[in-house]
Structure 1
Amino acid sequence: MEAIILAGGKGTRLAGVVPNLPKPMAPIAGKPFLWYLLQSLQQQGFTRVILSIGHLAAEIRNGFAHRDGPLEVIFCEENEPLGTGGAIRAAMRMAQGESVFVLNGDTFATVDYAAMQQQHVATASTLSLALMPVPDTTRYGAVQVDGTHVMGFSEKGRSGPGYINAGVYLMQRNLLETLQLPERFSFEEQVLMQYLRDLRPTAFLASGYFIDIGIPEDYARAQEELPRQMFFKE
């Protein structure tokens, strides 16, 4: 299996807590957050990861260019900000597989990637989204699901339990090349929202641990919670 990790954002909300570091390099119990993502992918059988980098890219290169282990790590660096969608499209041009996972570099979710890939193939999907149940969708916005299909997205701010977008996608390598998209674009707004009806994304219903370190409160919570996850036995 092959994955792209989006690790090029500035992380402005976390800058006061973790200055002079890109958000995926924020230390969690002495290791960069990105280390936890790579470790989990390696232990689930991934063989290749493309790190999409931009802001403070040298920090990530220096941290992972010579990483030991069976997981090959390569870099796709933006010369200028391309948005999440533009970054995915650029990294996809370096991908080798027919379908490629895409992860956010500031989010960790316990997803069974092999099972998600099996469902993706069985349903002949071009795009699959991992969804996570949470007791309150206020911060993230809820995802509306009908069976195994994603039907819509509710705006942030509505409280109550539901499924949220876990920030894990599986898509065909050439998907973005088939759509009418600008050079810089948001994957969430200009693909998921605008092409939802055409793409009919498949919903993979995950369960388990989820954290987004994008705000200081959750970054602090991750210091205790993330190292306890079962994946991280070296």
Structure 2
Amino acid sequence: MSAVKPAVLAGLNVAVLAGGLGTRLRGVLDDRPKILAPVAGRAFLDHLLDAFALAGVERVLLCLGHMADSVLSHLKVCKPALSVDCIVEPHPLGTGGALRYARSRLRGDRLLVVNGDTWLGFDLPRLAASFDPQVMAGTLVYVEVDDAGRYGRLDINHEERITAFLEKDATHHGGGMVNGGVYLLSDQLLDQLSAGTAISLERDFLEKLPPRTLHAFRASGPFIDIGTPESLAIAGSVVRQAMFGRAV
């Protein structure tokens, strides 16, 4: 991401999905939600907001649920460098339900959706510039990893269209292209999501779209999700390297 505020980001809606229960971190992170997990001496949320501000994003909408009060209290003291609005779901709605609940707060013809437990280095201005909401339904940001066994993998054709979502396969050995947890969705696709009943944005909606509906955008920066004790333990080194190297 660039320190310059490109015109291509003007009016871009950004939604961070941060309402999950964090069940895989129980026993490790019981006193706070995942997005406030301590990473490199700060809350993970602070790193995300700094990266978006550096990229030129002006406003972020946080979709909150589990332990939302902790996030609201944190925002009163952390003083982010961009505008942050929050919406708290009344009960667990899933990632698809969270976006449906937030629909009235989103304006414009495109929405950047980011999983709140994921750090991914990618060129946001280039992603935004490559996206035409008049002719494209959506773009999924992917990353190539050396060990893809713990992730669901993607099949991507030569036109950079997603042709299939492959189930997670622990017996898979070797690298692969995996979902980076970042999506740029057109207003029309968001309307389609809002008109349905999908609970999971990924499994119940994006993976159900006809093959080649979604474009694929490759991220070259560091990637980690903090959803397991093992990944959370090394997240600090990944974020420090990314920030000092200006990889995000």
Q: CA offsets, 1:34-64, max 9 Å, x none?
A: 1111110110000010000000000111111
**Structure 2 Cα separation of the partners of residues 98 and 122 of structure 1:** 7
Shift of 1:223: 2.3
TM-score, structure 1 as length reference: 0.92
CA RMSD of aligned residues (A): 2.0
Shift in CA distance, 225/69, structure 1 to aligned 2, threshold 3 Å: closer
Shift in CA distance, 96/232, structure 1 to aligned 2, threshold 3 Å: farther
Shift of 1:91: 2.2
The residue number in structure 2 matching 1:167 is: 181
The answer to whether the 8 Å contact 1:149/1:200 transfers is yes
Shift of 1:196: 3.3
**Structure 2 Cα separation of the partners of residues 123 and 150 of structure 1:** 19
The residue number in structure 2 matching 1:8 is: 19
**Matching residue's letter, 2:39:** I
Deviates more, 1:17-26 or 1:61-70: 61-70
Is residue 37 from structure 1 mapped to residue 48 from structure 2 by the alignment?
yes
**Matching residue's letter, 1:217:** E
Runs of 4+ with deviation above 6 angstroms:
none
Identity of aligned residues (%): 36
Is residue 154 from structure 1 mapped to residue 179 from structure 2 by the alignment?
no
The answer to whether the 8 Å contact 2:59/2:82 transfers is yes
1:218 to 228, 231, 238: 231
Shift in CA distance, 224/5, structure 1 to aligned 2, threshold 3 Å: same
Shift in CA distance, 65/3, structure 1 to aligned 2, threshold 3 Å: farther
The residue number in structure 1 matching 2:92 is: 81
Q: CA offsets, 1:56-109, max 9 Å, x none?
A: 000111111465354110001100111110112222321222111000000000
**Structure 2 Cα separation of the partners of residues 91 and 65 of structure 1:** 21
- For structure 2, which runs of at least 5 residues remain unmatched after alignment? 1-11
**Matching residue's letter, 1:155:** E
Shift in CA distance, 58/232, structure 1 to aligned 2, threshold 3 Å: farther
Q: 2:240 aligns to what SS in structure 1?
A: helix
The residue number in structure 1 matching 2:217 is: 204
Is residue 194 from structure 1 mapped to residue 208 from structure 2 by the alignment?
yes
Aligned residues: 231
Q: 1:120 aligns to what SS in structure 2?
A: coil
The answer to whether the 8 Å contact 2:65/2:91 transfers is yes
Shift in CA distance, 5/230, structure 1 to aligned 2, threshold 3 Å: same
TM-score, structure 2 as length reference: 0.87
**Structure 1 Cα separation of the partners of residues 60 and 21 of structure 2:** 21
2:196 to 181, 184, 188: 181
Shift of 1:177: 2.4
**Structure 2 Cα separation of the partners of residues 93 and 111 of structure 1:** 28
Shift of 1:230: 2.6
Shift of 1:30: 2.0
